[in-house]
Structure 1
Amino acid sequence: MEQEGRPAAAGSALATDGTQSSGIVGNEHTRVGEIWHFALPVPYNTSSKAIEITDVAIEHIPSGLEVLEYGAYHLNDTEGLPVLAKEGGPHTPEFAKLKNYVAKPVKVPAGKESDIFYLARVQITAPPKETARKCRFEYEQSGQEYTQTLDCELELRVSK
């Protein structure tokens, strides 16, 4: 969605010190074929102007993991942030039955945390050799497009 002649600038509106940016989430007892839901850092707009998030992605996906899709869900619908949840698990929200906001830009007011969080649906295709990391957010603010990468890290180990 880059405008002609105006590439996305490096953004700084999103807080870089959130809960998920200070460590690794993971599970050491997974199996090939399982699907896991990994929450990206909840967007917190520290700037003085609203932003609209237009896209998200995990930048580094190691071999053995495949991102099936990204979703965007309201925190109230999931009763809080499911940082890491196994699909079909007893405490995993039924994302397929929830409203998914991923198709439209998500507005985050100035100085506020978003009520909408992004989630990656990840399948284990082989024992991963390393972690998935770096969550990229693309957003618009005052007509300019920005991209900003936040720390995030997911480690899924296949048990022997």
Structure 2
Amino acid sequence: MPTNMSDDDVEIVGAEILDVPGGVEIDRYGAYSLDDTDGIPLLVKEGDPHSPRFRELRDHSPRGFTVQAKTVSEVVYMAQLRITGPVRRDATSCRYDYRQGDWRFSQTLRCSFALRLKA
């Protein structure tokens, strides 16, 4: 979850998984309000009646979103994945792109997920 520890607001303008493991393809990224998704859904199966209907929710990623100074974001990035084969390693790095004032930054952070699918 994006956390702004600085004294100034930050505008998050992009995020991506940097080391997508073999057997996984990224279909798309989106940024959604925790209020709309009832918290952070860690694993969602499309069509499950208990899963958020992401395509019907407001996606904040095209225009970015602001994280106010000294706060944790109410909007989080999520990735829609497609499993294409055996998955044998974890993803461990993500990059966030953001603006603060007139400056633009990219920051690589640890973000981990583990999926396993055996052939």
Return the TM-score normalized by structure 1.
0.70
1:57 counterpart residue number: 16
Q: Secondary structure at the match of 1:85?
A: coil
In structure 2, distance between residues paired with 1:91 and 1:159: 26
User: C-alpha root-mean-square deviation of aligned residues, in Å?
Assistant: 1.3
Q: CA deviation at 1:159?
A: 5.0
1:80 partnered with 2:36: no
2:30 counterpart residue number: 71
Q: CA deviation at 1:84?
A: 2.3
One-letter identity of the residue aligned with 2:44: A
One-letter identity of the residue aligned with 2:6: S
One-letter identity of the residue aligned with 2:108: T
Q: How does 1:3-152 map onto structure 2 within 5 Å?
A: 42-152=1-111
Q: CA deviation at 1:111?
A: 0.3
In structure 2, distance between residues paired with 1:92 and 1:134: 26
Q: CA deviation at 1:91?
A: 2.9
Moved more, 97-106 or 66-75: 97-106
In structure 2, distance between residues paired with 1:46 and 1:88: 37
Query: Which structure 1 residue ranges, 4+ long, deviate > 6 Å from structure 2?
Result: none
In structure 2, distance between residues paired with 1:68 and 1:132: 16
In structure 2, distance between residues paired with 1:128 and 1:116: 28
Unaligned runs of 5+ residues in structure 2 are none
8 Å contact from structure 2 (residues 32, 57) kept in 1: yes
In structure 2, distance between residues paired with 1:130 and 1:54: 28
Unaligned runs of 5+ residues in structure 1 are 1-41
In structure 2, distance between residues paired with 1:106 and 1:82: 19
Q: Secondary structure at the match of 2:3?
A: coil
In structure 2, distance between residues paired with 1:108 and 1:155: 28
8 Å contact from structure 2 (residues 3, 71) kept in 1: yes
In structure 2, distance between residues paired with 1:130 and 1:159: 12
In structure 1, distance between residues paired with 2:94 and 2:18: 6
Deviation digits for residues 13-56 of structure 1 (CA, Å, limit 9, x no counterpart): xxxxxxxxxxxxxxxxxxxxxxxxxxxxx111011111111110
Return the TM-score normalized by structure 2.
0.92
